[in-house]
Amino acid sequence: MDKLRRFMFGRYGGDELSKALLVLSFILLMVMNFVPKNLKFLVILPYIPAIICMFRIFSRNIYKRRNENYKYLKIKNRVVVWFKNNLNRIKTLKNYKYYTCSNCKQKLRVPRGKGKMSITCPKCKSSFKGKS
Ligand SMILES: [Zn+2]
């Protein structure tokens, strides 16, 4: 245990990005079961994220690895927020209709089944006609 600790001293270690790379590697490994025989050279694909993951864990350039992880978390967060927003939108699609304000791109939600109406954007106060 002491040997391992000494070996890891000054090295970056694991983080969220490394975890994600391992998961990606695992998913690719599963996908490889469905790859046709003439594309068998693709079997190396799952090893690429795994190797990058190992490289990052044992890397001594902590600053650079931390930056990569930060960028990854930023992108991941954006994707998670996008999914959350759109999931909510799909769930309420039966009761609401969605518009985008042509003036300020604000997303607007109006209740369905009210016929033609004038929609006023709460943000920029511009109004347009729409069917709900
Ligand atoms: Zn607007």
* Centroid of ligand 1 to alpha carbon of 80 (angstroms): 25
Spatial CA neighbour of 72 closest among 94, 49, 42 = 49
At a CB cut-off of 8 Å and minimum separation 6, what does 28 contact? 45, 46, 49
The mean predicted confidence, pLDDT, of the chain is: 93
Please state the rounded mean pLDDT for residues 88-92. Answer: 87
pLDDT digits over 110-120, tens only? 999 889 999 99
> Distance, CA 100 to ligand 1 centroid (Å)?
8
Q: Which two tokens stand for residue 51?
A: 């190797």
The per-residue DSSP string of 74-94 comes to: HHHHHHHHHHHHHHHHHHTTT
- The predicted model scores a pTM of 0.67
Query: How far does the centroid of ligand 1 lie from the alpha carbon of residue 98, in Å?
Result: 13
